[in-house]
Amino acid sequence: MSEPSATRLLVTGATGFVGRAVIGAFAQDGRTLRAAVRHSPQPPFAANVEIAQHPDLSQAFDWAKLLDGVDQVVHLAGIAHTGGVAEERYDRVNRQATAELAAAASRAGVRQFIFVSSIRAQSGPAADHALTERDEAAPTDAYGRSKLAAEAAVRGAGVPFTILRPVLLYGPGVKGNFALLLRAARSRWPLPLKDFVNRRSLLGIDNFISALRFVLSTPAAIGQTYVVADPGIPPLLADLLAAFREAQARWPLIVPMPTHYLEIPLRMLRRDDLWDRLGGNLRVDAGKLIAAGWQPVHETKAGVAALA
- Identify whether 61 is part of a domain: yes
Contacts (Cβ under 8 Å, ≥6 apart) of 250: none
Q: How many domains does the chain have?
A: 2
211-233: per-residue pLDDT in tens?
999 999 999 999 999 999 999 99
CATH number (domain holding residue 89): 3.40.50.720
- Identify whether 149 is part of a domain: yes
The answer to whether 161 and 115 have CB atoms below 8 angstroms apart is yes
Model confidence pTM above 0.75: yes
Considering the domain architecture, whether residues 147 and 65 belong to the same structural domain is answered as yes
- Identify whether 146 is part of a domain: yes
Model confidence at 5: pLDDT above 50: no
- Identify whether 159 is part of a domain: yes
274-307: per-residue pLDDT in tens?
777 777 899 999 999 999 999 999 999 999 888 8
Contacts (Cβ under 8 Å, ≥6 apart) of 251: 245
Q: Which domain holds residue 247?
A: 176-198+235-279
